[in-house]
Structure 1
Amino acid sequence: MTHTPRHIVVMGVSGNGKSTIGAALAADLGAVFLEGDAFHSETNVAKMSAGTPLTDEDRWPWLDALAAEVEARDAAGEGTVLACSALRRSYRDRLRARVPGLYFVLLSASYETILTRMQARQHFMPPALLRSQVDTLETLAPDEAGAVVDASVSPEQVLSASLAALRTN
């Protein structure tokens, strides 16, 4: 028998649809949607807006704040869907250390597809940082609970594939 995970992280590089798919998943599952970008410090946002990639030292407090929020929601009996890049295994490990049982949905599309999307939107993350994110991304390892979902198709198709992955985990 399978079960839908209580806490889900929709992950991947900027511009791949984390917020759109995360919000839709949360609505479908009756969970709370958490926008990871909302937890960045003003310093982090300013750094990214200026085209400077974040360092691990920049990310640790952000990841800790995200984990604390998921922990609080869990304590309140709520499920969550978190939109968070979680690009490196070490970042996912840091989240899992505080929230065991996290399930990761890695949205994946070609560099060109994501760049086109980034160029068409208003966001503090400039398209110039996409290459650094792609270069940083460590795909899910076989021992990590999660699935890779093709994000090059319509949002409805991505949502459907994400739900299917969650329900057959």
Structure 2
Amino acid sequence: MMTGKPFNVLVLCTGNSARSILGEALFNHLGQGRVRAFSAGSKPKGVPHPGALRLLARRGIDTTLFRSKSWDEFSGSDAPPIDLAITVCGNAAGELCPVFIGSPLKAHWGLPDPGDATGSEAEVDAAFEETWRLLEMRVRAFLALDRAAMDKASMQTALAEIGAMEGAA
């Protein structure tokens, strides 16, 4: 059953500087209030990757609110309840996550790290664009789900299928 409250998604990666930042932005941008997304990392780098910020700026998304933060911010009693926790890198998928309020669904949507790209700024930006494309495909697939008609098991299956889409790492 759908309620008026947004579905809270937490996108996790080790450094919370690239993929998870892009995932947060995509969910919030495409979710149009139906979804509220956050991002965090187990070992946050402290700042978003410049390539991520350049991509968001090119997309017309305000970058001032994005920051690299610890997933511990989402495990306390004052944290928003998380409905879905998605890992987007292999390291975070294998780490022991903190307990999040609300016993969220969990999914792994692993993608190569565009932050590892080397070369010119244009080459790095191309890696971020590809990650954006792959994440956008997944976020759109998620938003197309009829969550109100799905039980937890069918939702977990759908999340796994989305995670196995093109580009899965």
TM-score range, shorter chain: 0.3 to 0.5
- Higher helix share goes to which structure? 1
| TM superposition score normalised by structure 1 | 0.41
Structure of higher RCO (CA pairs closer than 8 Å, 6+ residues apart): 1
| TM superposition score normalised by structure 2 | 0.41
